[in-house]
Every structure is written in C-alpha cells, then in structure tokens.
Amino acid sequence: MAKTTSSNISIRMDSDLKSAAEALFDELGMSLSTAFNIFVRQSLREGGIPFKITEGRPNQETVAAMLEAERIAKDPTVKGYNNVDDLFADLNA
C-alpha cells in the first residue's frame, strides 16, 4: 500500500458555527477534520461544490405552503391535535 502524506491547513470560522458543526459531526461519528476531508474528496469527484448553493430563499411553492399553514393555524374552525395518537385515530376512523 502506498504511503500517503498529510498536510495541516488553517480555516477561520465563527466560533458558534464551529461548535455546532463539531456537535453535528460528533453525532455522525466523525471529527470536523474528517467531515472536511469528505467534503473535499466529494468536490474533487464532482468537479465542483457537491451541493447546490443558493441564497436560502424558499421557492414559490414553499412560500405558498407556509402561508397556507399559517392560515390554517389561525383558523378556529380547523381541528387541532395534542398528540399523534388522536390524529391517527381520526385518520383511521
């Protein structure tokens, strides 16, 4: 097996963002370094960023769904549920 060498890099990141990322990746069983290596390898495989980069604005369909959900939540004639069992009981009725 060929011996590989490694290099250190330094990345500046907001402290809160770093803590949140470390917690997430720890839950996934990896370090921030491992996650970054996965990202770089996938970027090289795809020849670019391995996900769509957007402004984070919801599309028209999502905005419409959010407005509908808000309308339903404020409508006193719409039945609500306090637990999943009651919801499923009504769905199965």
Locate the domains of the chain by residue range: 12-93
Looking up tokens 């996900």, which residue turns up?
Answer: 51
| The overall pTM is greater than 0.75 | no
Per-residue H/E/C for the chain:
CCCCCCCCCCCCCCHHHHHHHHHHHHHCCCCHHHHHHHHHHHHHHHCCCCCCCCCCCCCHHHHHHHHHHHHHHHCCCCCCCCCHHHHHHHHHC
Per-residue pLDDT of the chain (93 residues; tens, 9 = 90+): 677 899 999 999 999 999 999 999 999 999 999 999 999 999 999 999 999 888 888 889 999 999 999 999 899 999 888 899 999 999 998
